[in-house]
Amino acid sequence: MRRYIIRRILLAIPLLLAISFVCFMFINLIPSNPAEVALRVQQMPVITDAAIAEMEEMLGLNKPFLVRYFDWVIGCLQGDFGISYVNPARTVAGEILRSLPATLELAGASFVIVLVLSIPIGFLCAVYKDGWFDRIMRGTVFVSTAMPPYWVGLLLMWGIGVKLGWLPTNGSGSWRHLILPAFTVALSYISTYIRLIRNNMLENMKQDYVLYANVRGLPQKAIWVKHVLKNSMHTCIVAMGMSIPQLISGTIVVENVFSWPGLGTLCISSIFNRDYPVIQTYVLLIGVLFVVFNLLFDILQTVSDPRLRKED
Amino acid sequence: MKPVLELNQLCVSLKGRKKTKDLVKGISFSVAPGECLGILGESGSGKSMTMKAAMGLLDKNFQVSGSAKFQGDELLGKNAEELRKLRGGKVGMVLQNPMTSFDPLYRIGNQISETYAAHNQWDNEEVRERSINMLLKMQIRNPEEVLEKYPHQLSGGMLQRIMIGLATSMTPELLIADEPTTAIDAITQFEILNEFLRIKEEHKVAMIFISHDLNAISRVADRIVVLNQGVVVDQGEFCHIMHQAKDPYTRLLIEKRRDVMRKYRKALEGEVSHCAPAR
């Protein structure tokens, strides 16, 4: 088991290096000179060759590509992701750290909503298959999957925020501000997991061990919860784990709709301002999150399944 | 003697969207205490479905009619809780796929104890003691270790023995063995059949042995019912079935068995005569 975990961690290193390399490539694929972009963003009145050369020197752009890449990787490993082009007084790490808590708060709240709603609804849909509850939920899931989050966000703002006046339409600061954006982000995931849990449970109900549990005369609730749900959740663990980085990266549009001061808002404003180091770091951060969560939930699945668990 | 289980014109049909398909078409038989009834038939003949229908193990898509009485008490129409108490208690069942019949995520000890807990008020210590005794009775070595194992860590034969042990440890009035020797190798098959013979001798329990294997059935069954396409085509004692079967399908089964036995004997004799000069 320990060997498996060490092997998976070692395999993640080249993957992370590949992601960092692709991220770094972005900045070099820009048609214009990054130094010139930086000067324009800082609203330099006259951009001379000397000023560009000076900026290239400052940003280290005059060094060969691979040298710059390794400098950047070493910097990243030490937590130094460079400086913002828009405001050289600010570091990229500082900018990201400033916006990260708000995004984590939103993604965390969305994840809790996803778990709290999708597990019981998926469970009840499977238990009462083809009943009125299952039919209504299947219809709702079908409709909500087809609705894009930014539209749902606007609809909720108009309905619950403006017409009913129950919750604030935008901004942050209290738990009331969190409800609408968190629900908007969670909605499509709830639909996905209701379907996933329902189908997994129905598939598991056909298995021999469920028939044998009935043959042994176990109480129906124990069969559903202890055996069917546990086996079904077991296959959903990885999908749910992978939704955590998806939730963090998926807030980008919703944050802008609700003016939520998180990573998504920072990323969009950086794209408008062509603040490439910030965009590059954001993409790298999301890539790292995907790799780390994939690794974590693979290990968790291996630990929780006795058939996959290997004794040392 | 009052039969333990008595089926009378039992029918099972599958409700489709447009039409209903009849799967079991009016089956009647009974089994007395201490008697072993063999149900013989090829795959899809309705052997397992008949017993599942009687024990309330089919889902809502199946319609069951007729009568199935356990110790004179009608089973069809009983509510789910009444049937649950009966299953695993007064009616023990052994299934055909031991490797997939236990939940892969729980230890064997846990699955044995949850079965005991569902039918008794025993405390943890008593459950453990009875689990160990049951495993010892089923000739499983190192029972304490086996209780800590997961199903995938045990062999098919061991799991089948645990299944038989669990079914018999509740001192059932009726034991239903649904193709218990199909998914296991020949040597284990032999041992499992011996186990059934022992249970028959010791417990004097009414037993229904479902199989498509005439050899297996002939070792344990006192009486045989032959099913084909959901209908009873022949029934009687083993000798009667062997020599006076009326139904062409039953005769085909017997002919195939004789063929196999003939080839087996020939191979044995051939081997003996081939080996003789060497000695």
pLDDT digits (tens, 9 = 90+) for A34-47: 777 777 777 777 77
**A181-215 residue pLDDT tens:** 888 888 888 998 999 999 999 999 999 999 999 99
Q: Are B39 and B213 in contact (CB under 8 A)?
A: no
Domains of chain B: 5-102+169-239 (3.40.50.300)
Contact A247, A189 (CB under 8 A): yes
Radius of gyration of chain B (CA): 20
What's the burial of B182, exposed, middle or buried (CB within 10 Å: 0-12/13-18/19+)? middle
**B47 contacts B227 by C-beta, under 8 angstroms:** yes
Q: Which residues of B touch A302 (CB under 8 A)?
A: none
Tell which residue, B25, B38, B42, B31, has the closest CA to residue B6. Answer: B31
Q: Give the number of other Cβ atoms within 10 Å of residue B17's Cβ.
A: 4
A276 contacts A26 by C-beta, under 8 angstroms: yes
Here the tokens at position B155 are 């062999």
What pLDDT shows up at residue A311?
52
pLDDT at res. B197: 84
What pLDDT, on a 0 to 100 scale, did the predictor assign at position B278?
43
Chain center to CA of A106: 11
What is d(CA A279, CA A117) in angstroms, rounded to the nearest whole number?
A: 34
In chain B, which residues have their Cβ closer than 8 Å to the Cβ of A227?
Answer: 103, 106
Residues A47 and A45: their CA atoms lie apart, in Å, by: 7
Highest-confidence segment of A119-128, A285-294, B38-47, B94-103: A119-128
Residue B88: closest C-alpha in chain A = A216
Say if residues A144 and A188 touch (Cβ distance below 8 Å). yes
Q: How many angstroms separate the Cα of A124 from the Cα of each of A140, A143, A206, A249, B18?
A: 14, 19, 17, 30, 28
The per-residue pLDDT for range A25-79, each reduced to its tens digit, is 876 776 767 777 777 777 777 778 888 888 888 777 788 888 888 888 888 888 8
Q: For residues A128 and A110, give the distance between their C-alpha atoms in angstroms, rounded to a whole number.
A: 27
pLDDT band at A312 (very low <50, low <70, confident <90, very high): very low
Provide the 8-state DSSP code for A198: H
Q: Show which residues on chain B lie within 8 Å of chain A, measured between beta carbons.
A: 55, 57, 80, 84-89, 93, 95, 97, 100-106, 114-115, 118-119, 150, 152, 163, 166
Shortest alpha-carbon distance between residue B170 and chain A (Å): 10
DSSP H or E stretch at residue B199: helix B186-203
CB contact under 8 A, A209 and B115: no
Q: Do A23 and A280 contact (CB within 8 A), yes or no?
A: yes
Tens digits of residue pLDDT in B176-202: 998 888 767 777 778 788 888 888 877
pTM assigned to the model: 0.82
A220 vs B contacts (CB less than 8 Å):
80, 84
Tokens of A275: 């603040």
- Residue B235's DSSP bridge partners are B225
Amino acid at A158: W
Does A307 sit within 8 Å of B150, measured CB to CB? yes
User: How is chain A split into domains, by residue range?
Assistant: 93-304
Nearest beta carbon to residue A208 from set B88, B101, B119: B101
CATH class of A93-304: mainly alpha
Q: Please give, rounded to a whole number of angstroms, the shortest distance from the CA of A226 to a CA of chain B.
A: 10
Q: Find the largest Cα–Cα distance for chain B.
A: 71
Q: Percentage of residues in chain B with pLDDT exceeding 70? A: 96
* C-alpha to C-alpha distance for A44 and A34, rounded to whole angstroms: 14
Smallest CA-to-CA distance from B105 within A204, A238, A115 is with A204
Nearest to A218 by CA among B71, B257, B216, B166: B166
DSSP B232-265: EEEEEEHHHHHHH--SHHHHHHHHHHHHHHHHHH
The tokens for A306 are 């006795």
Within chain A, residue ranges assigned H as helices are 2-28, 34-41, 49-59, 65-77, 92-127, 132-146, 149-156, 175-205, 208-215, 220-222, 230-257, 263-273, 276-304
CB contact under 8 A, B95 and A231: no
Sheet holding B62-70, edge to edge: B20-31, B5-15, B62-70, B73-74
Q: To the nearest whole angstrom, how far is the Cα of A213 from the nearest Cα of chain B?
A: 8
Q: What is the mean pLDDT of residues A228-249?
A: 86
Q: How far is B80 from chain A (nearest CA, A)?
A: 9
Contact B87 A307 (CB under 8 A): no
- Closest Cα of chain A to B167: distance in Å? 8
The predicted-structure confidence for B240-266, as pLDDT tens digits, reads as follows 887 777 778 778 877 877 787 788 778
Separation of alpha carbons A215 and B84, rounded Å: 8
Residues of B whose CB is below 8 A from A307: 104, 150, 152
Cβ distance of B97 and A306 shorter than 8 Å: no
